[in-house]
Amino acid sequence: MFRVTGILFTSFLALTSPLTAQSGSHGTAGNVQAAPAAWEVAIQQRRTELVQKNGAGTDTALCDQLLRMRDEDQAVRGFVHGKQTSAMTSELVKQLPAVDARLTAELKQIVAQKGWPTIALVGIDASNGAMLILTHSPDHAWQRQLLPQLQELAEAAKIDGSSLALVVDKELVSEGKLQRYGSQFMFIGGKMSMYAVEDPAHLDNRRAEALLPPMSIYKQMMAQIYHLEVSNDVVMATPSAKK
């Protein structure tokens, strides 16, 4: 997630709890609640469909292991139970490479022994947790190797396709290409700037198809996570060293 030349920001809120939309309100006086936005409703509906199709998971031990790994991935990024408990301090940033490398090694062992953790195997939360760890993995070669299989699983509704979108973007950026869903940002001049995307005019359409929040909401998420201004500038990706 981090490079020597700057910080590559990847959202992980897409895999936990959606940001509450301010599209409307309802309820009694003193108990006003925001009405869910269309994208939030779509995410919840898709989640329900995936659980109904695949079940709650059969391997409880592996589920527990992956949830523990997910929680560790999130804790070093300042999140506990889907809620931000601390900003991305310099101390947390220093811990990221070692934690990501260790979790990658653990996930590799799981995949080698049992295949990719599908929803049917471990449940939707643990399956998404595995994708979260893959998204943050420093091993780009392994990510590229897994992508065809993961895309097939997503098309067959055996994993959550919205989770895969972030891996797709990270790999495109690592290869110096235009990203597809606009999930990757770079820290430049004290602000976060988005890596250039293909066909920017239809970016929100692609995000909607992947059940990701609109770009305006996503930028709010990034600003809240990192406590940094999100600029409207875009930067071109450069290929990273092959690993």
What pLDDT band is residue 87 in, cutting at 50, 70 and 90? low
Q: Coil, strand, or helix at residue 206?
A: helix
**Is 230 within a domain?**
yes
**Is 21 within a domain?**
no
**Is 50 within a domain?**
yes
pLDDT at 23 (0 to 100): 37
Task: Supply the pTM of this predicted model.
Answer: 0.80
**Is 22 within a domain?**
no
pLDDT at 153 (0 to 100): 97
The 3-state secondary structure of 176-201, one letter per residue? CCCECCCCEEEEECCEEEEECECCHH
**Is 30 within a domain?**
no
The residue range of the domain holding 76 is 2-16+36-235
pLDDT at 5 (0 to 100): 31
The average pLDDT across 97-123 equals: 97
Closest CA to 186 of 231, 121, 130: 231
The average pLDDT across 36-53 equals: 91
**Is 241 within a domain?**
no
Q: Coil, strand, or helix at residue 34?
A: strand
Q: Coil, strand, or helix at residue 16?
A: coil
The Cα–Cα gap between 60 and 200 comes to 42
**Is 25 within a domain?**
no
**Is 210 within a domain?**
yes
What pLDDT band is residue 20 in, cutting at 50, 70 and 90? very low
In the chain, how many domains are there? 1
Q: Coil, strand, or helix at residue 62?
A: helix
- The tokens for 228 are 């940094």
pLDDT at 11 (0 to 100): 45
pLDDT at 124 (0 to 100): 96
- To 5 degrees, how large is the angle CA 47–CA 124–CA 99? 125
- The tokens for 167 are 């891996």
